[in-house]
Structure 1
Amino acid sequence: MSLFDSKRVVAVGGGHGLGRLLAALSEFGCNATGIVATTDNGGSTGIIRDNFGGIAWGDTRNCINQLITEPSISSMMFEYRFKGRGDLHGHNLGNLMLTALDNLSVRPLEAINLIRGMLKVDVNIIPMSEHPSDLTALTTKGAWITGETSVDVAEEDLLRLDLDPSVPATKEAVEAIEHADCIVLGPGSFLTSIMPPLLLPELSRALEQNRQAKLIFVENLSPEYGPAGRMTLEQKITWCERAMHGRKLDIILGQDPHPEIEDKWNFVTTPLASSNRDWRHDRDKLKQAIISLM
């Protein structure tokens, strides 16, 4: 039995970073699971949330897009973005399809599974929560700000993050973490993709309690901006471990060495960048790096 058939891998995050990682892990098929952040409030996703409520679909759609391996009319529709002067300008049809299926389904996860079936995506995609919530942050000036878009551009440094309102984690996400052999955090926007799922008590507790799984943090290849860009790698690791009730990361995976943290964490350096876009992880290099660590 191969590694892909015998091991279960869970990736946690959102947006382009999680989609890239899941595409790298796609050979694991249904033994791979992505737990996706659902707090985005910008762009097409934000407008849909304002008008129809529900969770943010943008990061989930992005992950599914990167997992499509068989081009079809369905995949072209799912990836289509409207252009023009009307109200639909800028909207992604995939976001609207997920919103419609959510309204037709008992729960959001059913909508995702219907789309996965239609697009022949084997990797499991699970929203961190099936209840709408926004990311909030406490700044060093003692003010609370609300919404991912506000957090991304905050001029002050941040002391902590929270969710408003508090919502329960999706039970399938908790179960995936409980049974995982390997759990990967990142790459992606640290404050708005990696951290939101860790703010859910059930998920953070499951991460803390599964000590058998190899817990890996994948560093970004390009710098972030805003408050996340002003954080050091050590600060990011510390925030993750604090959210997981002190559970230490087993491995930090990155392309460039960080001698300032190597006495505290097991830092593994390996080439990860795509040959034509050095700010983006190469899928094969990322897959081989994670497999070697497992």
Structure 2
Amino acid sequence: MTHQTLSHQSTRIVAIGGGHGLGRVLSALSEHGSRVTGIVTTTDNGGSTGRIRACQGGIAWGDIRNCLNQLITEPSVGSMLFEYRFKGKGELNGHNLGNLILTALDNLSVRPLEAIQLIRDLLDVRPHLLPMSEHPAELAALTAEGETVSGETHIDELAVPPTRLFLSPTVPATREAIDAIANADVILLGPGSFLTSVMPPLLVTEIGRALKHTHATVMFIRNLGKEIGPASQMSLETMLTWCERAMGGKEIGVVIGDKNAPQLESRYQQKETKLASSNRPWRHDRDKLRQAIDEALLDSHVPIR
């Protein structure tokens, strides 16, 4: 079966994560259209997003905005406005207009999801984007010394990995995210910052429970280089164990990366393929990533509806 024919089948794909990594995956799979759903981390507390949350409250919009930016296929006035970042001095310096637009639409809507749908329609984005929760929460970590550290930015500054992560407060999942997981044929985790992008959605109790009971094949996409921050000291096997624990014991079936990890248990099916962009070796090439995922779907005999 060719890559071209696979692209037109009805496999339902759910990708989970945040920031640049999830946006890259969704962009690579954009030809699958509405059969692709991204479940996005909403705990960012840095930069423009953090400043907006500090004065307005609400969920973090930065990761959702980043995914939308990478899914824009046809440049337009609307897309240019959405990507615009203010410069200069004063209150607006550093703010991204897309974050402000999403915040304004959220204030005008009954649900944050309605704001996302409006922007999807405006920018002609076909894949679905769902916040992990429509309720604000902070990512928190417990250190080996028993100290609680709150906020993604502070967790990224830890000298060593925490003993565990949790959300504060506990928040419910977006119900559409639970439905998407229940109907998925494949679940993709990563790439991206492991502790602050990949893990937060898995910490939402209902998402973890839905993943535990899903019949979908779960795949983990590795980063191309070593992370900066505490996750750089975590082995691949430790990361997979953290994910499986958060998913109630659901096993990851496939690990996709640019090289195999010989230390992994044999129960993990590894797919080794070249994924790096030709001009940015730390970034996944969209076409190579799409082909790798499609081949992994075929190799894993993912059911076609």
Task: Look up the match of 2:116.
Answer: 112
Counterpart secondary structure, 2:8: helix
Task: Look up the match of 1:239.
Answer: 242
Instruction: Answer whether contact 2:271 2:296 (CA < 8 A) is retained.
Output: no
- Return the offset for 1:291: 0.7
Task: Look up the match of 1:89.
Answer: 93
- Return the offset for 1:49: 0.1
Among 37, 40, 50, the alignment partner of 1:33 is 37
Q: Distance in 2 between matches of 1:187 and 1:157?
A: 18
Instruction: Answer whether contact 1:53 1:132 (CA < 8 A) is retained.
Output: yes
Q: Distance in 2 between matches of 1:187 and 1:4?
A: 24
Q: Distance in 2 between matches of 1:62 and 1:151?
A: 21
Among all aligned residue pairs of Structure 1 and Structure 2, give the percentage whose two residues are the same amino acid: 60
- Return the offset for 1:264: 4.1
Task: Look up the match of 1:228.
Answer: 231
Q: Distance in 2 between matches of 1:157 and 1:293?
A: 31
Q: Which amino acid aligns with 1:279?
A: W
Counterpart secondary structure, 1:268: strand
Q: Distance in 1 between matches of 2:293 and 2:106?
A: 34
Q: Is 1:163 matched with 2:167? A: yes
Q: Distance in 2 between matches of 1:164 and 1:272?
A: 36
Task: Look up the match of 1:271.
Answer: 274
Q: Is 1:260 matched with 2:263? A: yes
- Return the offset for 1:2: 5.4
Kindly provide the CA deviation profile for residues 81-113 of structure 1, in whole angstroms up to 9, marking residues without a partner as x: 000011100000000000000000000000000
Instruction: Answer whether contact 2:141 2:149 (CA < 8 A) is retained.
Output: yes
Question: How many residues are matched?
Answer: 293
- 1:183-198 matched pairs, under 5 angstroms: 183-198=187-202
Q: Which amino acid aligns with 2:294?
A: I
Among 239, 245, 251, the alignment partner of 1:248 is 251
Counterpart secondary structure, 1:187: coil
Instruction: Answer whether contact 2:6 2:294 (CA < 8 A) is retained.
Output: no
Q: Which amino acid aligns with 1:240?
A: C
Q: Larger deviation: 149-158 or 236-245?
A: 149-158
- Return the offset for 1:226: 1.7
- Return the offset for 1:276: 1.1
- Return the offset for 1:3: 4.4
- 1:14-163 matched pairs, under 5 angstroms: 14-163=18-167
Structure 1 ranges of 4+ moved more than 4 A: none
Counterpart secondary structure, 1:157: coil
Q: Is 1:291 matched with 2:282? A: no
TM (norm. structure 1) is 0.98
Gaps of 5+ in 1: none
Instruction: Answer whether contact 1:5 1:31 (CA < 8 A) is retained.
Output: no
- Return the offset for 1:263: 2.4
Kindly provide the CA deviation profile for residues 21-44 of structure 1, in whole angstroms up to 9, marking residues without a partner as x: 000000110110000000000000
Q: Distance in 1 between matches of 2:6 and 2:267?
A: 33
